[in-house]
Amino acid sequence: MRPVKEKQRIKIGDKCVFCYRQATERHHPLKYSGNNHEIDEISIPICTDCHRGNFGDIFKEVKIKCEIKAIEDNLEYLEKNYPKFNWSQRLRYLKTL
């Protein structure tokens, strides 16, 4: 039985996390390898260009930045609710990219 998740941990910012223009969409950067589902309560504000400007897909560097921010801002929550994944190790790895 999965514990009840807290809703929306990140405050909705109105600036794109990558280019700081007006954010128009939200990116969900985290997947949980425990059961491979998207962690949909954690999302990052992003503009359409950064989200889909790479031939309809997200740019790699935007993807990495979103994932770093999502883990940094929610590390305690992630470790509590998704304990089978090593979030600190993932964060260290992302910062080497």
Q: Does 18 bind Zn ion (CB under 5 A)?
A: yes
Among 50, 58, 71, 78, binds Zn ion (CB under 5 A): 50
Count the neighbouring beta carbons within 10 Å of the beta carbon of residue 78.
22
30 lies in the site for Zn ion, by CB under 5 A: no
CA distances from 1 to 4, 5, 32, 62, 67 (A): 9, 12, 16, 34, 26
Shortest distance, position 84 Cβ to Zn ion, whole Å = 32
For the chain, where are the alpha helices, taking DSSP H only? 48-52, 60-81, 87-96
Please give the Cα distance from 3 to 82 (Å, whole number): 10
Nearer to Zn ion, 50 or 78 (CB): 50
CB of 52 to Zn ion, least distance (A): 10
CB 93, min distance to Zn ion, A: 24
| 82 lines the binding site for Zn ion (CB under 5 A) | no
47 binds Zn ion (CB under 5 A): yes
Cβ distance 44 to 26 under 8 Å? Answer: yes
Residues forming the site for Zn ion (CB under 5 A):
16, 18-19, 47, 50
